[in-house]
Amino acid sequence: MSNPYGYANPNHMQAAGQQNSAVVSQPSIGQMGGQNPNQPSWFRFPFFPTAPFYSTNPNVSTQVRYYSTGITNADTDVTLGQETIRTVTFDIPARVIAINAAFAYTAVPGANNAFARGITNPLDLFLFRMEYTTGDRLHINSRLASTVCGSAENPSEIGGVGYTVDQGASLICGITPLATINDGVPTAYRIDVTFHCLEMRGSANFVGGR
């Protein structure tokens, strides 16, 4: 049976066999369409809102969980204008559905603070990027958080079926606080990043059939 979902399918890996052979060059878009003459080469599938896979196994359940990380100015490895790495480890298989982030001064800022200078979106005060344990990058480069992160009121959805994270794997997050945060004092601040996730539990948690 063909797999129209590609890497996104949790069962995308197939056992090696004589029908498989190594391909050195990445195929073009045209070559990646379906080859069955009785089916169309492509089909439409909604990208937003994010629609994760749900298991048909009655012994597998799902649960929403919020994973998070962040930095503060008091962290010894945090410097304005330099990237700080934070790692988020998942003990249960999950799909990341959306990424939210926030910046806040944690004390009364000086008169020359970022917002007094005309910055209206706190997410413009730091860069953000994320990659998987394997090095697979969700964000190819660090960019202003306002372009890749949302808020609790308006989450930044991943799209498609979400971003799969397997049991024991980690997301490596790069957070770069920008010099525009400086208010001349300097005032304490924090940056938080939260991942909206759908965890999958079972069936290895149960004794018996699958």
17 pLDDT tier (thresholds 50, 70, 90): low
13 vs 41, higher pLDDT = 41
pLDDT per residue as tens digits for the range 97-141:
999 999 999 999 999 999 999 999 999 999 999 999 999 999 999
What pLDDT score does 84 carry?
Answer: 98
What Rg value do the Cα atoms of the chain yield, rounded? 21
pLDDT at residue 16 above 60?
Answer: no
Instruction: Tell me how far apart the alpha carbons of residues 100 and 68 are, in angstroms, rounded to a whole number.
Output: 9
Please report the domains of the chain, with CATH numbers, ordered by start residue.
48-201 (2.60.120)
Beta bridge partners of 193: 69, 101
Q: Model pTM?
A: 0.82
pLDDT at 207: 55
**Per-residue pLDDT tens over the stretch 31-87:** 888 988 899 998 888 999 999 999 998 888 999 999 999 999 999 999 999 999 999
Largest CA distance in the chain: 70
139: which 2 tokens? Answer: 């964000």
Peptide bond between residue 109 and the one before it cis (omega within 30 degrees of 0): no
d(CA 198, CA 10): 14
pLDDT of residue 159: 96
Q: What is the pLDDT of residue 82?
A: 98
